[in-house]
Amino acid sequence: MKYIARVSEKIYLTENQHFWLIKLELTKPDRISFTAGQYASLRVDERGMRRSYSIASTPDNEHGINLVAEMVPGGVGSTYLQKIKLGEEVEILAPLGQFVIQKTELRNNNLLFVATGSGIVPLWSMINDLLINKHERRQMRLHWGMRSEEDLFWVDNLERLAETYPNFVFDIVLSKPSEKWELCSGHVQDCLMRDFPQGLTQWEAYVCGRQAVVIEIAAKLEELGMKREDIYHEKFS
């Protein structure tokens, strides 16, 4: 469905300004129903070129959606969002995509979330929605691969969730950490090997990030005993 929305807030999430949070207030129509994990397609130039951004808010907010954009130097979508001003109107198509938590009637798998970079966005929405709105009781584990400490955001929120909900645990994995970093470093898939030596047969996974990494992570999950049909993914191509 096509929406017109107004930029109501725009802030950077990291001091290096690599990641921005953009809040959109829906004007026409002014209400949306979506499932956590879905995305919006944003018109980013006069000719109608579009870029996809996962919805970085939870479905209980029906009058607006948030987006988180990684600023790719020279990128068409990145430049559009970098320049956009408060109060300006944008055109979006939403909600789109099938990357959502699967129905649970027939199974009781634990939930593994694996993200790299801005791939955290749909997983963040799923995790917040599951814990806060849906009172999910299954074990939930997030592995988030990022480059360095300077690129991290939402860590406070994840820490709060982990403190409040004992069934949620998260790990951050940095590929280029500073010397002070004491937690897992390297590729996110290496830390999966470390954290699940007993394998992943009772789990299903939601994986999101750039295409090549998603393929590597899915292969690693299968190596750890996860069935291919239990791996759901979104590739940011």
Residues found near ligand FAD in the complex (CB under 6 A): 39, 51-54, 68-70, 72, 74-78, 97, 118, 121, 234, 236-237
Can you read off the two tokens belonging to residue 11? 């802030």
Instruction: Spell out a b/e string for 2-17, using b for 16 or more CB atoms within 10 Å of the CB, else e.
Output: ebebbbeebeebbeee
Q: Which helix (H) or strand (E) holds 188?
A: helix 188-195
CB of 77 to ligand FAD, least distance (A): 3
Q: How far is the CB of 16 from ligand FAD (least distance, A)?
A: 14
Give the Cα separation of 131 and 174 in Å (integer).
25
**Neighbouring residues of 46: CB distance < 8 A, sequence distance ≥ 6:** none
Closest approach of Cβ 100 to ligand FAD, in Å?
12
Distances (CA, A) of 78 to 21, 105, 180, 225: 12, 40, 31, 38
Closest CB to ligand FAD among residues 20, 203: 20
Q: Give 178 or 237: the residue with its C-beta nearer to ligand FAD.
A: 237
Token code pair at residue 99: 């990357």
Residue 74 C-beta: closest distance to ligand FAD, Å: 6
Output phi, psi for 121, to 5 deg: -60, -55
The string of DSSP letters for 161-175 reads HHHH-TTEEEEEEES
Nearer to ligand FAD, 95 or 177 (CB): 95
Nearer to ligand FAD, 43 or 138 (CB): 43
How far apart are CB 127 and ligand FAD at their closest, in Å?
Answer: 15
- Residue (of 146, 7, 155, 35) closest to 96 by Cα position: 35
Cβ closest to ligand FAD, residue 51 vs residue 220 = 51
**Residue whose C-beta lies closest to ligand FAD:** 75
Identity of the residue, 75 or 186, whose beta carbon is nearer to ligand FAD in the bound complex: 75
> Is residue 187 within 8 Å of 214, Cβ to Cβ?
no
> Please, which residue, 66 or 109, has the CB nearer to ligand FAD?
66
Shortest CB 93 distance to ligand FAD, Å? 12
Task: Please give the structure tokens belonging to residue 155.
Answer: 């860590």
